[in-house]
Amino acid sequence: MPAKSASIHSIELDLFIEAMTRRHGYDFSNYARASLKRRVAGLAQKLGFASVAELLPRLLYDGDLLPEILAGLSVPVTKMFRDPMVFKAMVETLLPMLATYPRLNIWQAGCATGEEVYSLAILLEEAGLLHKAQIYATDINDAALAKAEEGIFPAKMVEEHADNYLHAGGTRTLASHFSLGYGFAKVSGAIKDHISFAHHNLVSDGVFCEVNLVVCRNVLIYFDRHLQDRVLGLFETSLSRGGFLCLGSKENIAFSAAAPHFTPVNAALRLYKKSGGTS
Ligand SMILES: C[S@@+](CC[C@H](N)C(=O)[O-])C[C@H]1O[C@@H](n2cnc3c(N)ncnc32)[C@H](O)[C@@H]1O
């Protein structure tokens, strides 16, 4: 009966969440449930199990599938200069203000395979600010982080995103920031030197340093309101007074307890400035 089978899927999801939390320390209980349910079911199928329930013993007794499970649940979809108008607004509005600081600490949370953080670093370099910037790029997906840290992409990616780069306010050529050869494009060492990649779980880890800018786009959409609120509080605590927050186009802070601490710089593009003291 449809009602009964729906509830079995729900029980299976609860058991999966319980196993991940208590056995492996990864708590998915506050992820948006409908999309998590789809992803867990798809993952079980991809790994060759007939159901999520059949995956559970393996998850409980053997940690070998954990990296694959984390990678499968994390949706590391990204691209260079995604939503170029957001980058353009950062170049035109945020960077002139950030330029007045002697040092810049930036946290890019949910960096996936690195395309977004490299886009940001390229624009900082062109604005003459990269030399005083330290960017921390974090994610829970270690496979994606390893790829990001490598900084090697297919050469055609550079061609494909050249227009986005220009629309984002790029003033040179995108290719000038890479060394190209054998069908690959390697991010320049000068840019990589200013980025540290690290494992950080927005669900359970705390603030790791004070920053002037937080960029976290297309990550909160996977979380429920409660977790979004926690993470926005974490960003608010991390930001120094006058620091900036950049979220994804479908994300906003209006509902959260952190909202009173921010004023919109460009509400449509989800750019906010921390206006008050730390809560
Ligand atoms: C859709 S990608 C967004 C990539 C990039 N920010 C962009 O907008 O192009 C979402 C990323 O969030 C990461 N993520 C999901 N849950 C996370 C968590 N609890 N802590 C840190 N990162 C997380 C995923 O691993 C994935 O790489």
Residue 219 alpha carbon to ligand 1 centre in Å: 5
Check if the beta carbon of residue 216 is closer than 8 Å to that of residue 109.
Answer: yes
Percent of the chain with pLDDT over 90: 89
Residue 4: which pLDDT band, with cuts at 50, 70 and 90?
low
Lowest mean pLDDT among 37-51, 57-71, 74-88, 259-273: 57-71
CA-CA-CA-CA torsion sign (142, 148, 154, 159):
positive
Grouping H, G, I as helix, E, B as strand and the rest as coil, residue 217 is coil
Domain architecture of the chain: domains with CATH:
2-73 (no CATH), 84-274 (3.40.50.150)
Residue nearest to atom 11 of ligand 1 (CA): 110
> Using a 6 Å cutoff on CB, does residue 108 contact ligand 1?
no
CA-to-CA dists, residue 264 to 246, 248, 252, 254, 271, angstroms: 10, 14, 10, 10, 6
Cβ of residue 164 lying under 6 Å from some atom of ligand 1: no
- Tens of pLDDT, residue by residue over 157-207, are 999 999 999 999 999 999 999 999 999 999 999 999 999 999 999 999 999
Collect all residues with Cβ–Cβ distance below 8 Å to 75 and sequence separation of at least 6.
39, 222
What is the arithmetic mean of pLDDT over 145-160?
96
**Ligand 1 contact, 88 CB (< 6 A):** no
- 110, with CB counted inside 10 A (0-12, 13-18, 19+), is buried
Ligand 1 touching residue 76 (CB < 6 A): yes
Mean pLDDT, the chain, rounded, equals 94
**pLDDT reported for residue 63:** 80
Residues 6+ apart with CB under 8 A from 142: 67, 70, 71, 199
